[in-house]
Amino acid sequence: MGSHWQRRLPHSVGGLALGLGALKTIEMLLRGDGAGPGAPGLSWRIPATFVLMAGYVAVLASGGVHYVASTALFCFLFFLLLAPVRDMKAVTGLALLSAGYAAAVFAIFTRFFFINL
C-alpha cells in the first residue's frame, strides 16, 4: 500500500480541477457571452461542464469504474461540450484523442509515479 499522499493525490487533483472549473463557471456566467437566452452560446455549456466534472469526480471517488474508461468518457464529453463538432471524422478523432490521453495518463501515474489509479 502506498503512502498517504499517493492514495490522496488523484482525489486532490480531481477536487482542484472541480474547484477551478467552478471558478471559471462563475466568471463566465457573470461576464456573459452575449448570446442571449436560448442562443447556441457558451451560457448553457459552462454549467454543463461543471456538472460533468462533478460527476467525473464522483465516479473516480466511488472506484466503481476503471480510471481509463471514466477519464476517456469524461474527456470525450468535455471536448464535445466545449467544441461541438458535427462531422463523424472530428468525433472519431476526439474519441481517439480522449482514449489515448486517458491511457497515457494512467501509464505515467502507475509506471513512473507508482500511484494506483
37 pLDDT exceeds 60? no
Cell numbers representing residue 97 in the block = 484523442
- In terms of DSSP H, where are the helices of 1-117? 4-31, 45-62, 67-82, 88-107
Quick one: average pLDDT of 30-52? 66
106 pLDDT exceeds 60? yes
Instruction: Evaluate if pTM is beyond 0.75.
Output: no
CA dist., res. 75 & res. 89, Å (int): 17
Region of 85 please: left (phi>0), alpha (psi -120 to 50) or beta. beta
48-67 pLDDT, tens digit per residue, is 888 888 898 888 888 888 88
CA dist., res. 29 & res. 73, Å (int): 26
Main-chain dihedrals φ then ψ at residue 6, nearest 5 degrees: -70, -35
Quick one: average pLDDT of 21-48? 63
